[in-house]
Structure 1
């Protein structure tokens, strides 16, 4: 357990908790005293649950398709059934599936990108709002991206622009209910290879070149000249989820080494 206990007696939903930034957020929140609801479509979420429980933390897991209204509703229901309330939601599901010029995207690929990187945040915000409104308090942190100004991922960029607008509008609409809504616009982040790849197909020569353009652009636009770490993203996300940011709402905080997106 961490010496810091910012989330003692707080119930926090973390989506996309099976790997990457979501896993890091869930482990750190649990270490700081949170009761964590781990939500992911992948069975690997059970490994994160086991890790938290082994460390003496308090968590439950649920496998759900958060690209659907019903999946998001099931996560909120799991939190209420397990802990009786929802104090915070961290919307972490998303990520570009393909990286290539916009004219190379098919109709179905565009739909899949938007379904992955916009709708989970919309559905999960909608799922937790009734409980937060009833309690007249709550915190939502949406994971966005500095890639709203990025090359070779226009559908993803548009989706994250939607997440930024969702953050601002929802914060404005529900400040009267004691609900704060902020976002972290993550920059390029070093992470272990994904256990469940977003795109399982081998990359063609063209696709490898387009991917390299994204990497080069990310580093070129970053003052610090490097990718960030998972922990650096976790630190910002949990700051916004904590009472330390109690006078912040409707804000998108870029965590991209100087790249403002």
Structure 2
């Protein structure tokens, strides 16, 4: 269910907007009146911007690398140059790169997983806070994961545990500034094949087996015994971003069919 004017005249920054859940958030928010800043390091984000514009939204595109503070700062600067304020930040960058038992990870792979799934949220929150504090208003929704309790992706699990801790502590620290900070812990989600894969190297037979183990564990841990849809994740994200959640902060909402993560 959509609410046509829920974000009317609000400026929403969506990171990782080129595909998947980020694209879903961007298009749904456009249909609900938001003015958008769509951030991604893939130029595919421009296609999503065109789709959002067709729905009536004004759109600023930020092609930035959010694994760096410079990228996050540039994104926020573009948003403030374009609109003068940021009402909502949805931090959506992240995702498992490799799937295997922890002892099989190499040092550089562990660091890459943390850079991918924790640092973009850390940097983006840091970059946006001064402007929200100055206005004494703002909502941040971080996309986490129920994979904080799961198999074959321990570095990713640790990164998303960091996102949950960041969410709780930022909410505690900045409620007095009028800023709400929440997270959606997404469960397994059916999505089209990624146009830009997180890991372009084809999986070996052993890696295919490990990945199948993740899929089986995800389904079995869900009380509903299924993956969710992008729309089911988007609905929760936009609820927490909206004024309908005005008395909710510091919450990590699991959207995993009953799997609490």
Equivalents in 2 of 1:55, 1:92: separation in Å? 21
Structure 1 residue 200 corresponds to structure 2 residue 200: yes
Matched, 1:72 2:69: no
* In 2: Cα distance, 1:107 partner to 1:5 partner: 48
Q: For each residue in 1:176-229, what CA deviation from the matched residue of structure 2 results, as whole angstroms up to 9, or x when unmatched?
A: 000000000000000000000000001001100000000000000111111000
Residue in structure 2 matched with residue 174 of structure 1 by the alignment = 174
Match of 1:249 in 2: 249
Aligned to 1:233: 233
Q: Could you tell me the TM-score, scaled by structure 2's length?
A: 0.99
Q: Do 1:39 and 1:75's aligned partners in 2 also have CA atoms closer than 8 Å?
A: yes
CA distance in 1, matches of 2:178, 2:59: 25
Tell me, what secondary structure is at the counterpart of 1:97? coil
TM superposition shift of 1:3: 5.2
Structure 1 runs of 4+ off > 3 angstroms? Answer: none
- Give 3-state SS (helix, strand or coil) of 1:141's partner: strand
Give runs of aligned pairs for residues 82-231 of structure 1, distance below 5 A.
82-231=82-231
Contact 2:30 2:55 in 1 (8 A): no
Q: TM-score, normalised by structure 1?
A: 0.99
* Deviation (angstroms), 1:164: 0.1
Q: Could you say which residue in structure 1 is the equivalent of 2:8?
A: 8
Give the superposed CA RMSD: 0.7
Partner of 2:228: helix, strand, or coil? coil
State the secondary structure of the residue aligned to 2:4.
Answer: coil
Equivalent residue of 1:7, what SS?
Answer: coil
**SS of residue matched to 1:200:** coil
Q: SS of the residue aligned with 2:258?
A: coil
Measured in 1, the distance between the counterparts of 2:6 and 2:56 equals 16
- Structure 1, unmatched stretches of 5+, are none
- Corresponding residue for 2:58? 58
Contact 1:11 1:37 in 2 (8 A): yes
Secondary structure of 2:81's aligned partner:
helix
Unaligned runs of 5+ in 2: none
Structure 2 distance, partners of 1:138, 1:110, is: 33
- Report how far residue 74 of structure 1 moved: 0.4
Is the Cα–Cα contact under 8 Å of residues 30 and 59 in structure 1 kept in the other structure?
A: no
Instruction: Report if the CA contact (8 A) 1:188-1:228 is conserved.
Output: yes
